[in-house]
Amino acid sequence: MCEKKKQQHSCVLERKRNTLNDQPFRRLKDYPVGVKITDIITETHDTKTFILDKPIDAKPGQFVMVWIPRIDEKPFTITKSGKHLAITVKKKGKATSAMHSMKKGDILGIRGPYGNGTFDLEKKKKIILAGGGYGTLGLALLLEEATKKNIKVDAIIGADTQKNIIFTDRFKKLGARVTITTDDGTEGKKGFATEALEEKLNARKYDAIYTCGPEIMMRYVLKLGMKYGVEVQASLERWMKCGFGICGGCALDPSGLRVCKDGPVFKTDILKDIEGFGATTRDKSGAKVQWKDMN
C-alpha cells in the first residue's frame, strides 16, 4: 500500500470507528473521579485485583486511567465490567507499589473507559488466546464475553516461571481449555507460550488469535498468525498521558494511530505495518527507545 493510501486509511478508519462505535464521542467530562476501593484480592506474589465502587460498561480490551492521588496516573486494563469495575495490578514501579500498599476504603480516581479499538469476536466460533506474563489479565474480559457467546476457547497462559502464572483458575472456570507454559518448566510445558501456540495452530483451525503480553512475544504471535493464515488481535501498551487521543504520546509509526484511542487492540492489517513492532516504543518525553531499556 502506498504511503498516501495508508494515511487516508487511518483517517477513514477513524471516521468509521467513530460512527460505528457507540462509545459517546462528545464526552462532557474526562477527569479523575475519586471512588472507594471496596475489595482487594491477592492474585499472585506481586499482583492484586482492586474492586472499585464504580459501575462500568466496558468492552474487552478497554482500559481506565487510574489516579493514585499525589503519586501518578496510569492506564490499567479493565478485568471486570459491570456493577463494580475491577483492575488487576502488577507491582512494578512507583505508582503500582503505592497501589499495593492501599487498603479497602482508600480512594483511587478513575476516568474512562477508553479505547475504541477493542477485541472483536464477531463471527468467531473457535478462538485461541495467548497471554504472556501479566499480559494474560488483558484477556480476561474477552474470555468472559466469548463464553457468553458460546465461542470455543483455547487459552495459553505463559510466564517465565510458576509464580508469575496468573488467572489459571479464572480461565478454567470460564470454560477455556488452558495450556500453561513456563520458560523454566516450573509449571506446565517448558518453553515459550509461542511454541505451544504453534503446536495448537498445527493441530487445529482457529478463527482468530488474541494476544496480550510483552511486545516481542506479540510480534512472534503475529508472525505465526500470518504463517498459518489466522487473524491476530493484539492489545498494545504505550506511554499514556491523556488517554483520549490528543497528546500524541502513544502514537504508532508510521500510521499515526494512537494506542489510547484507535487501539489499544489492533488486528493483523495494522500490526504488520507498525515500525519497530516488538523492538521500539517511546518514553515519557516522546523519544524513541528500545523496549529492553524500558523494563
Partner 1 sequence: MTIKTSFLNMNLKNPLVLSAGILGVSASTMIRAYNCGAAAVTTKSISITPRQGHKNPTVIAYEKGLMNAVGLSNPGIGAFTEEIKKIRQKNIPLILNTIGKTPQEMAQVAKKGEQAGAGIIELNPSCPNVTHEKPYASDPKLLKELITTVKKRIKIPVIVKLSPNVENIKEIAKSAEQAGADGITAINTVGPGMLIDIAAKKPVLDFKTGGISGPAIRPIAVRCVYDIYETVKIPIIGTGGITSANDAIEMMMAGATLAGIGSAIYYHDISIFKKIAEDMEKWLKQNNYKSVEELIGAAHV
Ligand X SMILES: Cc1cc2nc3c(=O)[nH]c(=O)nc-3n(C[C@H](O)[C@H](O)[C@H](O)COP(=O)(O)OP(=O)(O)OC[C@H]3O[C@@H](n4cnc5c(N)ncnc54)[C@H](O)[C@@H]3O)c2cc1C
Ligand Y SMILES: Cc1cc2nc3c(=O)[nH]c(=O)nc-3n(C[C@H](O)[C@H](O)[C@H](O)COP(=O)(O)O)c2cc1C
The alpha carbon dihedral of 86, 90, 96, 100 has a sign of positive
Task: Tell me which stretch binds ligand X (CB under 6 A): 20-28, 71-79, 187-195, 219-227.
Answer: 71-79
Cα–Cα distance, 257 to 251 (Å, whole number): 5
Q: Which does 93 bind (CB under 5 to 8 A by kind): ligand FES, ligand X, ligand Y, none?
A: ligand X
The residues in 73-102 that bind partner 1, with binding defined as CB under 8 A, are 73-74
Cβ partners under 8 Å of residue 54, min gap 6: 33, 35, 84, 85, 110
The distance of closest approach from Cβ of residue 34 to partner 1 in the complex, given in angstroms and rounded to an integer, is 3
* Closest CB 14 distance from ligand X, rounded Å: 19
Nearer to ligand Y, 98 or 242 (CB): 242
Out of 41, 57, 69, 190, the only residue in the binding site for partner 1 (CB under 8 A) is: 69
The entry of ligand FES, ligand Y, partner 1, none that residue 10 binds, CB within 5 to 8 Å by partner kind: partner 1
239 or 277, CB closer to ligand X? Answer: 239
**Of residues 86, 128, 137, 139, which one binds ligand X by CB under 6 A?**
137
Answer yes or no whether residue 247 interacts with ligand Y by CB under 6 A.
yes
Q: Is 48 in the site for partner 1 (CB under 8 A)?
A: no
238 binds ligand X (CB under 6 A): yes
Residue 149 CA, distance from chain mean position: 20
Place of cell 500510521: 255
* 209: nearest Cα among 227, 219, 222: 222
Contact segment (CB under 6 A) with ligand X among 19-27, 72-80, 152-160, 224-232 equals 72-80
Residue environment code for 114-129, b if the CB has 16+ CB neighbours within 10 A, otherwise e: bbbbbbbbeebeebbb
Q: Which three cell numbers stand for residue 24?
A: 459517546
Q: Which of 94, 104, 190, 205 binds ligand X (CB under 6 A)?
A: 94
Q: Contact, 134 vs 47, CB < 8 A?
A: yes
Residue with cell 472456570: 173
